[in-house]
């Protein structure tokens, strides 16, 4: 028996194609059953996330399975196989096992060391097990992968420090507010970067969301997506009195907020702290705002500087993480060889 993995990810495939290749949760039982039936494969797990689609298979023999798996994926998603042939990678053990352990450890992620992938590996394993697609080899394989991911996160600092603008925004906001549940986020503009920061902050359990935009028609869809309220820019100051966290991401070529305006707002707020993130280029918030007491202002350069420093620290941990992966790989291969 051989363990193989056929996959594509953010390095090999643009998001437009990854979207077409992704499996919805309700499709997984059908897909797992079809793979096992059509290719005579005893064990199979499908890992499908926004950044990767991977088929882990236990192969009774090596006989053109890579090509047949590629054809299966194309057929299942009704795509032309000719457009996919150079997008896939194909690994056999030990490389396939090493790859899975590195995936679970966050070493193959777009954001190095991100934690979400470990939960996604665990969920993919659980879904395949529920469908009867996991036997003794893959039970041991995926349990070891999950253990490897946990060990990497507990014994190294690979997951420390946010590395994206939106995640840095959360990291900085936590320096001001320990608990987000009673806080209000106000976003100025309805752009993609603002939405990403808003999503990261709301994932922490923020109480309410306000979306201010030059036109309400543009603000309302974003506000609706986050169960918030759209407000026109003409009502910006009352909204700022209410808000605790402000994200500015508009295309305006001038300051939407001046020092004098924020000073007036802080008086009405009775000095209650306010956290402002200006990710607009050019900046929308007057830098002099930062001079005011209980006002915490960061711009895109501040966030990128922090994210870059965090990336460097994570890169320093890769060698330690890889050593853990190799130890677990050697132990796993020894165990399955002894079990044969």
**Active site members:** 50
For strands 229-232 and 208-213, give the pairing. parallel
Query: How far apart are alpha carbons 161 and 125 in whole angstroms?
Result: 28
- Within 10 angstroms of residue 106's Cβ, the number of other Cβ atoms is 22
DSSP 274-313: EEEEE--SS-SB-GGGGGSTTEEEEEHHHHHHHHHHHHHH
Dihedral over Cα of 295, 296, 299, 300: its sign: negative
Closest CA to 211 of 249, 173, 260, 254: 249
Q: What is the DSSP letter of 23?
A: P
Tell me what percent of the chain is helix, strand and coil, each rounded to the nearest 5. 55, 15, 30
Give the CA-trace dihedral at 248, 254, 256, 262, to 10 degrees: 110
Check if the beta carbon of residue 219 is closer than 8 Å to that of residue 231: yes
Angle among Cα 301, 304, 306 to the nearest 5 degrees reads: 110
Closest CA to 295 of 277, 276, 270: 276
Closest CA to 3 of 156, 194, 134, 198: 134
């Amino acid at each position: 028996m051989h363990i193989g993995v056929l996959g594509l990810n953010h390095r090999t495939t643009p998001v437009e194609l990854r979207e077409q290749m992704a499996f919805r949760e309700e499709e997984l039982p059908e897909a797992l059953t079809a793979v096992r039936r059509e290719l005579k494969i005893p064990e199979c797990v499908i890992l499908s996330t926004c950044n990767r689609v991977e088929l882990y298979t236990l192969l009774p023999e090596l006989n053109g399975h890579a090509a047949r798996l590629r054809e299966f994926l194309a057929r299942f998603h009704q795509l032309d196989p000719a457009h996919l042939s150079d997008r896939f990678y194909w690994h056999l053990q030990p490389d396939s096992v090493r790859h899975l352990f590195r995936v679970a450890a966050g070493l193959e992620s777009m954001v190095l060391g991100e934690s979400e992938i470990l939960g996604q590996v665990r969920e993919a394993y659980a879904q395949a097990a529920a469908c009867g697609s996991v036997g003794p080899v893959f039970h041991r394989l995926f349990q070891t992968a999950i253990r490897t991911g946990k060990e990497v996160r507990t014994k190294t600092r690979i997951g420390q420090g946010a590395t994206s603008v939106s995640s840095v925004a959360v990291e900085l906001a936590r320096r001001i507010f320990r608990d987000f549940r009673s806080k209000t986020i106000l976003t100025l503009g309805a752009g993609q970067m603002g939405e990403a920061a808003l999503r990261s902050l709301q994932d922490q359990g923020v109480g309410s969301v306000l979306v201010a935009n030059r036109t309400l028609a543009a603000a309302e869809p974003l506000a609706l997506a986050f169960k918030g309220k759209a407000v026109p820019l003409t009502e910006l100051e009352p909204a700022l009195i209410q808000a605790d966290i402000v994200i500015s991401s508009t295309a305006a070529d001038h300051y939407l907020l001046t020092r004098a305006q924020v000073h007036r707002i802080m008086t009405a707020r009775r000095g209650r702290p306010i956290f402002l993130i200006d990710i607009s280029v050019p900046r929308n918030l007057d830098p002099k705002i930062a001079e005011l007491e209980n006002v915490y202002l960061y711009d895109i350069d501040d966030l990128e500087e922090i994210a870059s420093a965090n990336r460097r620290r994570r890169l320093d941990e890769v060698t330690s993480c890889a050593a853990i992966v190799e130890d677990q790989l050697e132990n796993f291969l020894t165990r399955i060889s002894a079990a044969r």
